[in-house]
Amino acid sequence: MELRNLHQRSGVGPPRRGRAAAARDGVDRTSTPRRARRALPVLVGGLLALAVPTTAVAAPERVFELVSPAAKGGSDVSGGFFATPDGDAVAYESFAVLGDPSHALFSSTYVARRQADGWKTTSMQATVADPNPTLLDATFPAGLSADLSTAFAAGYGAFAAGDENFSQDIARVRDGVSEWVTPALTLPDANVVDSNVVGTSADGRSFVVSTTKPMLPGVPGGAAQLYRRGPDGLELVSRLPGELVSNGARLGNGRGLQGDNRAISADGRTLFFTTFPGVAQLYMRRDGQTKLISADTTGAPGTALTTYRAATEDGSRVLFSTPSRLTADAPVGGGLYRYDATTGELRLMVAGTITGVMQTSDDLSVAYVVSSAQLDPGMGTTNQPKLFRVTDAGAKYISPIAAQDSYGWTWGQGGNVGGVSADGSQLVFQTRAVLAGANLRPNRVGVYRYDATGDALTCISCHPDSTVASDGASLTGADVSYGDPGANPGRAITLDGRLAVFQTADALLPEDENDLFDVYGYDDDGLHLISGGAPEGEAHVIDVSADGRDVFFFTNASLAADDVDNGYRDVYTARIGGGFPSTEPPCTASTCDRPDAPPTVFTPQIGSTGVFAEPVDPPVRKRPTFKVERISASARRGWARSGKTRLRVRVSAPAKITVRTKLAGRTISTARSDRKSAGTSRLTLKLSKSAKARLKRTGRLRLTVTVSVRGASKAKKVTVKLIARKTTKQAGR
């Protein structure tokens, strides 16, 4: 598809209100994220136009709520997992501990739930039988149930007496109890083989384990089998029709708890597995019965590899691909199939080789697939990855896709390269592919929204003013949480498709005052800055609630009055209609100036799961202050002549100092200093090669220098004009 760049501009919405105007109407916006709407590039019918709001609709007011505990025992948040659909609970992790005696040296799991007076955090960390602070006893997050009532942990230490195999085992944490759930048939368990949790019901009461060690009588060892543990006990579920034990099986496509999309139904009754070694076949197991799904019209198994792609939440439909010819209308080479367990119908959705499935609608009537074939005849480059929208009516070409993005769409829905509305009409995805009209540097990730109702593709991470984006962007959870991206199945778009969220280090709006990662939202009214863009902190997106009321992220910026831990990362939600009654006394000279108090440390007994009660008694810290030396006329002349100068910044306490120099809105240099004590730092400001060339060409530069100090109330900004000294040759012209 050839795209023509129209470079059209339009209005950008109502003017921003200043602090004085806010004060006059009596509205307190000090804890409310700032917002703006801007037109963005959109590809419509192959032409690049601009998405412009047709009416001036005010963006809903969001209030920052501190989700993680204010007192964290000298630790901070290292990443996020996902939130419940209603936005009233969210899971996150810490590399250290939040004041509790954890045995995880690398990552501890926590769940915060919203209550009337604030957010309460519960430790979901598994315990070991004989804790020692060594690598052998380290545990790692292995997954969470959708309602966040249950957490799973993997570890090589002993989860209980009898665990003597020094191999990976699984513990389940639920209702404050840590339970070893992968013991062998006989104890002590000395089987030197790993066990994994690969699926769970929505409430965590039923879950599936993969292991080669026998866990039930009559099951031979050596082959990977699937066991389901639930309220009714333990069951071997990797059985073929006739209750034969398989020679090896994977749940779904073998991608793990968050890597396969609904390979176990929400109620835990239905699951889909594929067999190996040999020609993989797809089976459905429900209520003690197994059915072959990848069968042809005669009931015979397919003759080629079958790959599980997705299933509905209730397990009534499943999507898979195979080169096998399974239906009468299927050509040689097969394609993408959908099976309906209610009617028994097997349907070919599209013919051709399927590389991966990025996302699907809830009922599997719509699938966004990646293929190097021309599923839409004549569209896209042959033998290059392409994105298509597939329905029962056929395939619709959307855009090229980069081979570097393959992690997400080859692993199925869980690789965090896309999000979809419930009906499949709206898709948001990220790619390194160079899409015509998208102002991105080569090999930078762009985030796009596709609207099937208008066949429109919008670059939502591009600069509204067509400035080339210097940094990449990413969707919910990508490159954020500890471990592989599949560990974070957070949404990237609301169920109705109205709001998409992403993160980028590019300042897409004037309100974004840093060159660090910030969280943005995009809807029909345009682009919005969600995380505030504070100069001293970056923000990474975790999740968005199903209705868009909550957008969760973690940041080291202090966005709430009770966040006084001086730069430690915390989880926040930007919540529409949020906020709690204040429980903090007003700041007085005696309370604000007192020395730092030791943190309040939560110390439950070993083996218990504790709840952090709010409000806590965090240390009250005085914000650092700073002064910036004026850049003199002689310093400006020297800067223009040599390309660099020194700037002195004096701080009242230990702090991290950042100085950014911008030219025409783009950062040309960044200087940093980590002061270990109060005093003056001298930071070197430099001109980039392009800035020097521009100065030589035009004879002058107008620079913006911003100084921010972590923990300080606000940044300081100054405009500097540099004038090049004319040479004798120039003067004679």
Complete DSSP assignment for 493-514: B-TTS--EEEEESS--STT--S
Residue 719 burial (C-beta neighbours within 10 Å; 0-12, 13-18, 19+): exposed
**Angle (nearest 5°) at CA 295 between 294 and 299:** 160
Residue in this structure with the two tokens 């923000």, named with its chain if needed: 539
Percent of the chain at pLDDT above 70? 78
Give me the pLDDT at residue 266, please.
Answer: 94
Give residue 133's pLDDT band: very low, low, confident or very high (50, 70, 90): low
Q: What is the average pLDDT across 5-29?
A: 29
What pLDDT score was predicted for residue 33?
42
Give the per-residue pLDDT at 439.
83
Taking the C-alpha atoms of residue 35 and residue 56, their distance in angstroms, rounded to an integer, is 13
* pLDDT range class, residue 515, cuts 50, 70, 90: confident
Burial class (CB in 10 A: 0-12, 13-18, 19+), 357: buried
How high is the pLDDT of residue 296?
Answer: 94
Reading phi first (left if > 0) and then psi (alpha if -120 to 50, else beta), residue 242 is in left
Cα gap 93→482, rounded to integer Å:
8
- CB within 8 A of 511, min separation 6: which ones? 16, 34, 35, 36, 529, 533
pLDDT top residue among 437 and 142: 142
Per-residue pLDDT tens for 517-532? 999 999 988 899 999 8
Q: What count of other Cβ atoms lies within 10 Å of the Cβ of residue 32? A: 18
* Pick from 95-109, 425-439, 619-633: least confident: 95-109
> To which residue do tokens 């929208």 refer?
389
Pairing status of strand 611-612 against strand 118-123? antiparallel
pLDDT of amino acid 409: 57
Rounded distance between C-alpha atoms, residue 619 and residue 565, angstroms: 7
pLDDT of residue 106: 67
User: Is residue 52 very low, low, confident or very high in pLDDT (cuts 50, 70, 90)?
Assistant: very low
Confidence of residue 563 (pLDDT cuts 50, 70, 90): confident
DSSP string, 41-80: EEEETTEEEEE--SS-PPPPPEEEEE-S-S--TT----EE
Give 697's contacts (C-beta < 8 A, 6+ positions apart).
none
Is pLDDT above 60 for 37? Answer: no
191 pLDDT tier (thresholds 50, 70, 90)? confident
Q: Enter the tokens of residue 730.
A: 């120039």
3-state secondary structure of 319: strand
Per-residue pLDDT tens over the stretch 253-280: 887 765 556 899 999 999 999 999 889 9
Is residue 528 within a helix (H) or strand (E), and if so which, with residue range?
Answer: strand 526-529
Going by pLDDT thresholds of 50, 70 and 90, the confidence category of residue 74 is confident
Average pLDDT value over all residues in the chain: 80
Which range among 15-19, 114-118, 265-269, 554-558 shows the weakest confidence by mean pLDDT? Answer: 15-19
667 pLDDT band, cuts 50/70/90, is confident
Average pLDDT of the residues in 654-678: 84
Q: Residue 730: what pLDDT? A: 46
| pTM (2 d.p.) | 0.77
Domains of the chain: 129-239 (no CATH), 260-405 (2.120.10.30), 626-731 (2.60.40.4070)
Report the share of the chain in percent with pLDDT over 90. 47
pLDDT of 616 above 90? no
What's the N-to-C CA distance of the chain in angstroms? 50
* Residue 713: pLDDT band with limits 50, 70, 90: low
Mean per-residue pLDDT for 297-304?
93
Sheet-wide strand order for 108-115: 79-83, 89-94, 108-115, 118-123, 611-612
How far apart are the C-alpha atoms of 628 and 648, rounded to whole Å? 6
